[in-house]
Amino acid sequence: MSPFPLEAFMASLPWTALGVVLVLAVTYAVAIGAGAVGQARHSVMDVAWGPGFVVVAVISFVLSASDGDSGRRVLLLVLTGIWGIRLGAHIGRRARGGHEDPRYVALLKGARGSRNAYALRRVYLPQGLVMFFVSLTIQVGMFSTGPLGPLAVAGSAVWLTGFVFESVGDRQLEQFKNDPARRGTVLNTGLRRYTRHPNYFGDAAVWAGLFLTVAESWPGVLTVLSPALMIWTLAAKTGKPLTERAMSGRPGYREYMQSTSGFIPWPPRRH
143, burial (CB in 10 Å: exposed 0-12, middle 13-18, buried 19+): buried
Who wins on pLDDT, 36 or 79? 79
pLDDT digits (tens, 9 = 90+) for 29-58: 998 887 644 567 788 899 999 999 999 999
Average per-residue pLDDT for the chain: 91
**pLDDT category of residue 104 using cuts at 50, 70 and 90:** confident
Torsion sign over Cα 91, 94, 100, 104: negative
Three-state SS sequence of 219-264: CHHHHHHHHHHHHHHHHHHCCHHHHHHHHCCCCCHHHHHHHCCCCC
Mean pLDDT over 80-107 rounds to 83
- Rounded to a whole number of angstroms, the distance between the first and last alpha carbons of the chain is 56
Task: Please report the pLDDT score of residue 243 as a whole number.
Answer: 85
Task: Please report the pLDDT score of residue 249 as a whole number.
Answer: 83
Mean pLDDT over 202-217 rounds to 96
pLDDT digits (tens, 9 = 90+) for 142-170: 999 989 999 999 999 999 999 999 999 99
Task: Please report the pLDDT score of residue 37 as a whole number.
Answer: 43
Residue 90 has pLDDT above 90, yes or no: yes
**pLDDT category of residue 190 using cuts at 50, 70 and 90:** very high
- Please say whether the beta carbons of 265 and 201 come within 8 A: yes
Q: What are the structural domain ranges in the chain?
A: 1-145, 148-271
- Please say whether the beta carbons of 137 and 41 come within 8 A: no
| Share above pLDDT 90 across residues of the chain, in percent, rounded to a whole number | 70
Q: Which of 20-24, 98-102, 163-167 has the lowest average pLDDT?
A: 98-102
Helices 136-143 & 225-232 angle (0-180, nearest 10):
150
Q: What predicted TM-score, i.e. pTM, was given to this entire model?
A: 0.92
